[in-house]
Amino acid sequence: MKNVLVIGSTGQIGSELTMKLRKLYPEGNIVAGFIQGAEPKGILLESGPSAEADVRNGQMLADIVDKYQIDTIYNLAALLSAVAEKKPLLAWDIQMNGLLNILEIAREKHCAVFTPSSIGSFGPETPHQGTPQDTIQRPRSMYGVTKVATELLSDYYFHKYGVDTRSVRFPGLISYTTLPGGGTTDYAVEIYYAAVKGEEFVCPIQAGTYMDMMYMPDALKAAVDIMEADPTRLKHRNSFNIAAMSFEPETLRKKIQEHIPGLRMRYEVDPVRQAIANSWPDSMDDSCAREEWDWKPSYDLEEMTVDMILNLRKKFGLAQMNNLDHTLWAP
């Protein structure tokens, strides 16, 4: 991996992955691909090249690949699960027609491709505890349908044309740099923002609903490591279960309250998100990723919580005060 196009570089994953790749490969061109209305700003704009990269425009992508001699494409363009239920045709267009454009370019120009899958690729009939790597995938959401199809299409291009496609099934991702937009697991990010700002958190997911979650540094490590993995060790490609922690809203509330006791939370369950969450695994088995490319997460719930609070307080210019009632000092 040397010259990389990150499609969706201003999103929750892209904004951090682009910067990580620029640090890892300082000699390469790490191009921040964006769509109109979501242009890169600040350090993301200043630290390397950027280009408009709409996945629905194959020629636009091909021109970037030629111009920057791209060898690897990170395809992060997607409508997340809740918003995809509101705009299913747009989700299909971006996730499927966009992917087909990328895979065709990769076939012609010999690029490796990473397109993330998700816990959303599973459905109600999937075993929910210790969800195996290879199991029933019958999702009922449009997001899930496109994620299963993404896995199959990516494997198809590998087996038929030898395109180096690889992927992981991301859990809900928790981060402080860029907010996610329209996912079912977004609550697990938003609760930290509310806690640090001293606001009441209204939780859209019912107490007792377990889902896999992961801190962003682990997700970025997975995205890089899978693309760097020795191909001769890979028995799977699209896509690997990866897991770090599994919790439900009450576990998260109590953990944050150990650090910010003043956090207030009440429930206003969103039926669309709740139905999706009910159909997803409670916790995945990631042993294939551990065996085939040495996957291992670094952050558990406590370590992530400490880091999230620290960094959000920095972000909002708040003093560092541990284990004090937040209401004492919140602005």
Enumerate binding residues for ligand AKB (CB under 6 A).
Answer: 80-81, 118-120, 143, 170, 172, 180, 183-185
Q: CB nearer to ligand AKB: give 150 or 184.
A: 184
Distance of CA 302 to the CA centre of its chain: 20
Taking the complex as a whole, the smallest distance from the CB of residue 274 to ligand AKB amounts, in Å, to 12
| Amino acid making up residue 240 | F
Q: Residue 119 or residue 226: which is nearer to ligand AKB going by CB?
A: 119
Q: Cα–Cα distance between 331 and 324 in angstroms, integer?
A: 14
> Beta 211-215 vs 245-247: how paired, if at all?
antiparallel
- Of the residues 74, 143, 157, 176, only one is catalytic, namely 143
Shortest Å distance, C-beta 321 to ligand AKB? 30
Nearest-approach distance from CB 144 to ligand AKB, in angstroms: 9
For tokens 């690729």, the residue is 121
3 state DSSP class of 232: helix
| DSSP per-residue string spanning 278-325 | HHS-SEE--HHHHHHH-------HHHHHHHHHHHHHHHTT----TTS-
Sign of the dihedral defined by the CA atoms of residues 240, 246, 248, 254, in that order = negative
Contact (Cβ atoms closer than 8 angstroms) between residue 120 and residue 280: yes
CB 216 within 8 A of CB 173: yes
State in angstroms the smallest separation of the CB of 187 from ligand AKB.
Answer: 9
* 55 or 70: CB nearest ligand AKB: 55
CA distance 174 to 220: 12
- Minimum distance, C-beta of residue 288 to ligand AKB, in the bound complex (Å): 19
Closest-by-Cβ residue to ligand AKB is 183
**C-alpha pair distances (Å), 223 with each of 37, 147, 212, 239:** 26, 16, 17, 12
CA distance 305 to 143: 28
Structure tokens at 326: 């937040």
- Catalytic residue check, 192: no
**Nearest distance in Å: CB 326, ligand AKB:** 26
Is the alpha carbon torsion for 152, 97, 12, 122 positive or negative?
negative
Catalytic residue IDs: 143
